[in-house]
Structure formats: C-alpha cells, structure tokens
Amino acid sequence: MGDYRVAVDVGGTFTDMIVHNERTGEARVAKTPSVPANPAVAIMNALQKAGLTPSDMSFFAHGSTVGTNALITRKLPRTAVVATTGFRDIHEIRRGTKPDLWDAYADVAPPYVKRRDRFEVPERIDYQGNVLAPLDEAEARRVAKLMARRGYEAVAVTFINSYMNGDHETRMKEIIQEEMPGVFVCTSFEILPEIFEHERFSTTIINAALAPVVSKYLASLTDQLRGGGYAGDVLVLHSGGGVMTAEAISKNAARIAVSGPAAGAMAGAFFAQQCGFPNAISFDMGGTSADISLMFNGEVRVSNEWSVEYGYPIMFPSIEIVTIGAGGGSVAWIDDGGSLRNGPQSQGADPGPAAYRRGGTEATNTDANLTLGRLSPGGLLGGAMPLDKEAAEQAVATKVGGPLGYDAVKAADAVIQVANANMADAVRLISIRRGYDPRDFCLVSFGGAGSVHAADLARELDIPAVVVPPYPGITSALGCLLVDVRHDLFRTYLASADGASVDAVEAEFQKLEAEARERLKAEGMTGDRVQLRRQMDMRYVGQWRSLTVPVSTPLGANLQGSLDRFHAEHQREYSFSNPAGAVEIYGLRVVGIGLVEKPEFPKRSAAGILNDAIKETRQVYFGESGGFHTTVIYDRDKMPAGATFQGPAIIDQMDTTTVVPPDWRGEVDEHGNIVLRIVR
C-alpha cells in the first residue's frame, strides 16, 4: 500500500481529484475532462496528471454522476417488473400529482419501465403479512421463461404488502435466477420494506434499472485500479453522505443517484465545523447549477424521499439538497413581459459564455461578472482559460442592456442581482421553509462560481459570516476523503406510541443493528470503528407523513424521550405541535457507521506579510456601494495564516475567485480557510 489517499468527484464536464500524502501531509489537486462514455478513463487520466499510479494509493473514494446521468438521459438497460396480479400499473399511475398543480398541459415524465415490460403473477398477502393466496409457482416460472426469451438485463419484483412478509418475493427471485442466470434481480422487501406501494415500487425499479449500469462502470474501474497495483477497497460516495464498497453499491445502485452533490454537502459541513460554526448552509455553484444544503447542530439535514425526475421517488435516505439552474453559464434573458430573467437555461462549457470566444453569444453570469471587473481579464484556471472582456460586455449590452435601456455596466449589475435573488430564494426553501433562521448560520461557498456571489447572497439573507475553503473548486472531491462508511436500514413498525411494547420495539431495533453490523463487517468495519444510531419515524394519528427523531440506546422504561423529541421537532418544522395529541410509530431506522480514518492537512504558515500577496489593483463595480472602487487583487496562495484584510478585495486562485465587497472584512485561519464577515 502506498502513502497517498485519493478522492475523486466525477462530474459531467470535469473530473476533479485531490491527493493527500499521509506521510508529509501535502495535498495537491488535479482536474481533467470527464469521459461520460467511460468515467473510469477520466479517473485514470487524473491519476496520471497527478503523477501517481494505483499502487501509490492507500485509500480511494469517489463520487460519481453515472447514476444521475443514466436516469436523466434514460440510457438504461432493458428492465422488467414482476408485480402482483392487478398491480403492474402502480409504477405509471404514481400519486397523480404534478410539479405544477395548475398546468393541465404539462405531463409527468414517462415511467422507467414500459407497460409491456411489466408482468403479473397471482399471489396475495394482506396488510398484516398473512397469506391470502399462495404464489402461483407455475405462472411464476412461465413469466420467468418469457422474460428470459426477451433478454432482460434486470428484474424488479414488486408484490403488494411484501413489506410485511417477503416470502413470495424471495421465492419469485429464486425462480427468476433459476431461469435467468446472471441477470440482476432485486425485491422490494430487501430494498425498501415500507408501506407505501408507489414509493417502494419506484425505488426498487430504479435500483434494478441502474444496477447493470453501475456494476459495469465499477467493475471497469476496479479492474483498472487492481491492474495498476491498488489493493484497497474501491469506495463510492452515496446519497446519504457516506461511502460503501463497490460490491455493496452494485446491489444498491439507486443510492448513488446524487453522489457528487452529497460529497459537497459533507465537505461544507466539515469546513464550517473547522471554523467553529455548528450551523452552516453549504452553497455549491458551478457552471450550470447551484446546490444548497444545510447543517444544524453539527448534523447535515437528511431527506427520506427524493427524486431525479418528478413522480418517481427514491426512498433511500439522502442529503437534502435544493438545486436550481444558476451557474456561471446561466443565461440572462428578457421575458415576454419585458422583465429580466436569469436561467435555468445555461451555455454550459460548450459553447460557454460569450467571454470564452467559443461561439457563445448569450449574456451569462460569467460575462456579467467579467464586465463588472470581478473576474480577472487574464482568464480562469490561472490563465489557462482566457476570457475576452470586450466580447462579454458586447453580449451583456446587446442581449440585456438594449431591451432595458441600460449601458453594459448597469445591465451586468442587474443580471447579477437577479441571479442572487434566485439563489436567495433557494436558500430560503431549505432554511426558513424548514423552520431555520439564516441569521443563525454561516454560508460555506465553493464550486467554481460560489465565492464570487457568496458575500452578496449572505447580505441578502442576513447571514453574518461566509467561509471559503482552501480548494473551493474541488471541494466535492475533498468531501469523499471526509466521510465514513454508512448503511441506512428501515423497517415499517406501526404501533401507538403510548401502547407500544418497549421490549418489542427494542427487539426490532436489535434485529436492525445486527444486520447493520453484518453489513459493516463485510466491509471490514468491526469493534470501535462501528457506530450505531437509532431513529424512529413518528406522526400524529391521522397524519400521512412522518418525522424522524433520534432514539436513545437502550430505550429504557418508556418512549417518553422520543415523544418529547417528536413534539419539539414538529414545532420547529411546522410551527405547530400537540403534546396532548395521540402519536403513533410509523417505522424504525438504524444508521450503521464504519469510521474511516480522516486525513490531517498541514496548517498554513503564518510567515510573510499580506502585502506580498498583492498582485495588482483594478476597478471593480459594487452597486450597493455606489459604483466602481479601486480594489486590491490578492494571490490566495501567498496569503499567510492570521492575515486580516478589508474589502473591497478580490482573491484569485487557480480554481475560483472570491469577491469581498467594501463593507466586508476577511481573515485567513490556520487551516487556510477564509472567513468573511460583514461590517455592521
């Protein structure tokens, strides 16, 4: 085993890598174009660019957009569904809802599995798990033979009420495997033993459809790393903010559908805590979109229901992320009513903003920031990507200024204000809408464009501090070095909170914990490296949805502590609680965590003076401060620990630019983070 811990974020445009030398503490980064047809190739290219071979690595973890892209593009293998007779259309009926309730003409995306590929088998289990009609094995075998002739690559078995009794699904799986050896098969009982049919079926179907795609990709990557001499586990970041081995992910492929953004959320939480902030809003703004997540009291907020496409939920726990179409390449445009809009359409990397001179003619956020002097005319990526300020100004003046009667500077300022307003609304969705006050948080900004907009966004929301990590452009990759192995287990358990048997609930928790230990043991996690957390889903009687609250271990004499936490969480989330109301238990959860050794990065030197980091001065526009200001431009690599500075300032580095308005001040801490605070 070598000395290097390596983490990678495989994005749609670039593959980012961070390399940490365990012996010296040195960290370095590499960035290479992604290869969507075979992401493993981009990872190997990044290793080569970093000057490493697989044999040099002691640890390897990565996040990937493979699952997300496969679902978005519908480039999925031929997948079949086997359902209880009369229930094969649940996947297409869904919940009957729409993203926009009032748009009668907008259709929800079509199902992932067409009706002709959904089969029925006679069987029936009731809501208590009793067998009403046995599985018709003759018909089950006939269906399996038919699927074998049609050449399906994956099969999802989704029987009604199987969450209470999985025997029929288990037997159906055995028959399919006998008739279709080598084909991936998963059952809803093993994937998501939860009461709601559509959510359970949707998660199982998506898992089956993604498994061949993810398995092929991970097998290729593993073979190349093993061939190069790497002997450790190939770890993959999943949506819940932990990692799993490639072998485990191959069976639970739906877990990596939002792998990359989850890594960024975990990294944002790490840097906030490193700077002493227990509450943080992570703001990851790239070229096309902005991802926003939230940490409260040291815990990143997790959602138990999410989707890549509306109408087809994935019920594995996932970091709650709000994503909007706001990035450096987002297009500014005028609607039919004459109002200025920003995004969600984007110029992306090709042709990109007008300033790239690659054929783009639309005015983008990058063009507006360049027009205002916030980006260096010398270009991005340390000058490796030149920018044409004249082309940017022309696009802004023509596409925005002309229709509004503004000059280029006023038009550019308007473009940025609209972009910031859109992103502020997204932050409100994940904070104020959830019962959190943004004034109690810091804003952690990263991504290629996040730190350009962070101070203005914080001002809009009264957020008192902004944290800019040392490597904002590769923060998502860094997040893969900072997370632990994690498994999330769930069982439906319906009972009155007042009348539930503590011994029975304790027994169910112990079953889940035993399963979690077995999964972690299979991934080499034992002893002190294993942590188990209990959670309980609870709701007021009559409610449909539930809230998840932590549970003490062991339970004790009663569930009063869990009830108190439920009432408090309901008050915070909905500004309402009813301590006298009847509460019922909906389900039990166990989070199994295998602790992974974290890297220790060297602290930044305090040697030198801030003036040595000054590159130049230039005129930068700050509309809220009256116009253009003479602004100091700093080279971040030369800023010593402990340095303090007053805005206006621009801080340049290879992977991003940080904008510090006139009424903000900043400080470089010993870890290399820049902490900005508004001057009241």
Divide the 680 residues of the chain into consecutive groups of 10 and give the mean pLDDT of each group.
Answer: 85 81 84 80 90 92 83 90 96 86 84 96 94 97 97 97 95 97 95 90 95 90 92 88 86 82 88 95 87 91 85 89 86 92 80 84 92 84 75 94 94 95 94 92 92 95 95 85 87 88 91 93 88 94 90 79 92 91 93 86 84 93 91 94 94 90 95 92
Using left for φ > 0, alpha for ψ between -120 and 50, and beta otherwise, residue 119 falls in beta
Residue 150 has what DSSP assignment?
H
Give whole-number Cα distances, 484 to 348, 481, 549, 610, in Å.
Answer: 33, 9, 21, 37
DSSP letters spanning 86-106: T-TTHHHHTTS--SSTT-TTP
Give Cα 650 distance to the centre of its chain. 29
Q: Tell me if 187 sits within 8 A of 204, measured CB to CB.
A: yes
CA pair distance 288, 311, nearest whole angstrom: 23
Enumerate the CATH 3.40.50 domain ranges in the chain, comma separated: 72-214
The token duo for 290 is: 């902005």
Q: What b/e sequence results for 125-142 when a residue is b if at least 16 CB atoms lie within 10 Å of its CB, and e otherwise? A: beeeeeeeeebebeebbe
Query: Which strand (E) or helix (H) includes residue 411?
Result: helix 408-430
Would you tell me which CATH number, out of the four given (3.40.50.2000, 2.60.120.620, 3.30.420.40, 1.25.40.10), belongs to the domain 261-314+424-477? 3.30.420.40
CA pair distance 30, 587, nearest whole angstrom: 44
CB atoms within 10 A of CB 558: 12
pTM: 0.83
List phi, psi (to 5°) of 421.
-65, -40
CATH architecture of 485-594: 2-Layer Sandwich (3.30)
CA pair distance 105, 118, nearest whole angstrom: 27
Enumerate the CATH 3.30.1490 domain ranges in the chain, comma separated: 485-594
Give Cα 107 distance to the centre of its chain. 26
Helix, strand, or coil (residue 63): strand
pLDDT at res. 588 = 93
Residue 160 has what DSSP assignment?
T
List phi, psi (to 5°) of 525.
-105, 115
CA pair distance 148, 24, nearest whole angstrom: 55
CA pair distance 118, 204, nearest whole angstrom: 13
649-652: strand order across its sheet: 614-622, 627-635, 649-652, 657-660
pLDDT at res. 383 = 61
The yes or no reply on domain 72-214 and CATH 3.30.70 is: no
pLDDT at res. 635 = 93
How many CA atoms within 13 Å lie on the side-chain side of 44? 16
| Helix locations, 180-305, DSSP H | 188-191, 197-227, 246-251, 259-274
pLDDT at res. 384 = 62
Enumerate the CATH 3.30.420.40 domain ranges in the chain, comma separated: 261-314+424-477
